[in-house]
Amino acid sequence: MGSSSLSFNQKVELLTEVKYYSKEQKEKLNRFAEIRNKFAHLAEIKNFEDCFNSIQGLESKLLKWFPEIMQNKTDSKEDTFSKCFSALFETIAADIERFVEHYNNRLFERVTLEVKAINYDAMLIAMSEVEKEFDPEIMEKFAKRFIERTDEIFRELDQKKENEKAPKKTAP
């Protein structure tokens, strides 16, 4: 039986289909994978110049994506390609970091809603059991305070999350 895991290309296609990655981001990921595969699988590829020259159309893409690096006339072609590869890696890493942050935010929002729903359900069950024995006015005050406190807890969690996302200040 085959693996149920998605391939790299399938993952890239999925991110593009759900409109998280643009066509340019997809192209960068695919070019990065192509460079990796050349180095990993072809013994004749010894350096960036060999690799980049073996990939049709790559140099024009690099010129479009990283003109400041590609138009630098003082570096050797090898150094230029090496710098482009580093810039490509950094671009992809930043894209992935943004995706992970987006995913974590969505997950946090979903968990927050689920926890609120569980708390409200638990409160309703508890209230229905004890309301027979307590004054309805007292129960109403309890329910109101429970809801207020639950909202306070989630505001505190939201504030903590915002504080964690804020850029860290460095000492002078």
Alpha carbons 28 and 172: distance in angstroms, whole number: 38
Band (168; pLDDT cuts 50, 70, 90): low
Q: Which residues contact 69 (CB under 8 A, 6 or more apart)?
A: 62, 80, 83, 84, 87
Of the listed ranges 74-83, 91-100, 152-161, the one predicted with least confidence: 152-161
Alpha carbons 71 and 156: distance in angstroms, whole number: 50
Burial level of 81, CB count in 10 A (0-12/13-18/19+)? buried
Please check the confidence at residue 29 and state whether its pLDDT lies above 70. yes
Tens of pLDDT, residues 56-80: 999 999 999 999 999 988 999 999 9
